[in-house]
């Protein structure tokens, strides 16, 4: 007996929902409990894939007998090329972050003067009101700012000093926790390099072994996954990394010019440029989320040249970004910004800071597989 179409559609919908829930559940379990443990091996395998092309070229030139030597040679050279700059940059960034935090804490001392200037600007703007209304409004505003300035009470603005203090304490504890875990990190690096050597040397054997465990109609799935990942997700990550680097260069150059011309004086341009470049790559936010408020505060404080300079930098970054993004990214994966934004939020809530990057990448990967027909999570809709 044939199943009615309505029942069949409901069954298919329930199967799709259950399948999507299973994939999301497995993804959550993997990221939450397995990612940190398997990260050295996953990264080692990924790097081994990258080394296969030069290794095959060397094998053709020298023969298979030198395969083990070239595998070891390529891994060690690549490790030196990667680890040297990475360790140097991390050491520099950690040192600069410490100095930058001290600088920000020092800037809190200027908050009362900023509040006094803001009070005067607001009162000046409200002078168009009738005298009776203006008097009442001015009294309320003056009392508010007086409490803020005299008591330096940030809670008036809804800012919880206790939460900030706890956050700083947690951050410091986290830094000490990282320092305590340095031996385990070093062990992970060493194990990762050893695994990298084995994955590189025995890549064909390992891939062949995995394929032999699959059914005949699924033996090409690894090649398809590799092709999909390299042609979509990896390409997208590389493209946006380039955009972020270009934005950093624009910010660093623009802020340096403001420094050289005496418009502003700041010794932390490098760290500020990095922070804004990372912020710029987030959906919805953009560099304007930092540069525009910074320009407004500078304008309130009477520093008009700095405000104009920051706005000019923002306009230049926005124009260049609109021009280069389509060319660098090419055909987008089509993930809607709200989906990416939700991925950032849920990633942060579920997995911490790394989740902000892992979850959006996972979403893009799932979409790429869905578009390729390897999995079926949702039915795509063409945008008008």
Quick one: pLDDT at residue 254?
92
pLDDT of residue 113: 66
Question: Helix or strand or coil: residue 255?
Answer: helix
Q: How far apart are CA 5 and CA 146, in angstroms?
A: 71
What's the pLDDT score for residue 108? 55
Length of the chain: 384
Which residues of the chain are under the pLDDT cut of 50?
1, 153-165, 167-172, 175, 331
pLDDT in tens, 258-292: 989 888 887 778 878 888 888 787 655 678 888 88
Q: For 210-267, write each residue's pLDDT tens digit.
A: 878 777 766 676 677 777 666 666 777 777 788 889 999 999 999 999 989 888 887 7
For residue range 127-145, list pLDDT tens digits in order.
777 777 778 777 877 777 7
pLDDT of residue 1: 47
pLDDT, residue 380, reads: 67
Catalogue the long-range contacts made by 246-250 (C-beta closer than 8 Å, 24 or more residues apart): 246/320, 246/324, 247/276, 247/277, 247/280, 247/281, 247/287, 247/317, 247/321, 248/273, 248/274, 248/277, 250/313, 250/316, 250/317, 250/320
Q: What pLDDT score does 148 carry?
A: 64
Structure confidence at residue 364 (pLDDT): 73
Tokens matching residue 74: 């390529």
């Amino acid at each position: 007996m044939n199943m009615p179409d309505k029942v069949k559609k409901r069954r298919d919908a329930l199967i799709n929902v259950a399948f999507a829930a299973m994939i999301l559940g497995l993804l959550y379990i993997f990221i939450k409990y397995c990612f940190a443990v398997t990260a050295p091996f996953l990264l080692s395998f990924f790097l081994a894939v990258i080394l296969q092309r030069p290794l095959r070229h060397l094998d053709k030139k020298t023969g298979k007998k030198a395969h083990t030597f070239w595998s070891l040679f390529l891994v060690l050279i690549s490790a030196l090329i990667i680890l040297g700059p990475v360790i140097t940059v991390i050491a520099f960034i950690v040192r600069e972050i410490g100095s930058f935090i001290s600088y920000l804490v020092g800037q809190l001392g200027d908050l009362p003067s900023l509040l006094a200037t803001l009070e005067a600007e607001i009162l000046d703007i409200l002078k168009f009101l009738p005298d009776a209304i203006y008097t009442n409004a001015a009294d309320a505003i003056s009392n508010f700012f007086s409490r803020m300035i005299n008591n330096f009470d940030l809670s008036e603005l809804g800012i919880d000093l206790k939460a900030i203090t706890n956050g700083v304490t947690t951050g410091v504890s986290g830094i000490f926790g990282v320092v305590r875990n340095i031996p385990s990190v070093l062990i992970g690096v060493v194990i990762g390099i050893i695994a990298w050597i084995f994955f590189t040397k025995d890549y064909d054997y390992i891939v062949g072994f995995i394929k032999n465990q699959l059914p005949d109609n699924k033996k090409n799935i690894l090649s398809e996954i590799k092709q999909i990942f390299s042609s979509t997700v990896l390409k997208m990550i590389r493209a946006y990394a380039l955009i972020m680097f270009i934005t950093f260069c624009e910010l660093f150059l623009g802020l340096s010019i403001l420094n050289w011309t005496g418009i502003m004086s700041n010794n932390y341009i490098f760290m500020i440029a990095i922070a804004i470049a990372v912020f710029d790559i987030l959906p919805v936010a953009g560099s304007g989320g930092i540069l525009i408020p910074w320009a407004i505060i500078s304008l309130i404080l009477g520093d008009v040249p700095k405000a104009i300079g920051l706005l000019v930098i923002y306009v230049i970054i926005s124009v260049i970004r609109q021009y280069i993004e389509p060319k660098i990214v090419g055909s987008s994966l089509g993930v809607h910004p709200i989906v990416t934004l939700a991925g950032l939020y849920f990633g942060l809530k579920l997995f911490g800071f790394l989740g902000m990057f892992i979850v959006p990448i996972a979403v893009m990967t799932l979409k790429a597989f869905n578009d390729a027909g390897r999995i079926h999570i949702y039915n795509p809709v063409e945008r008008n």
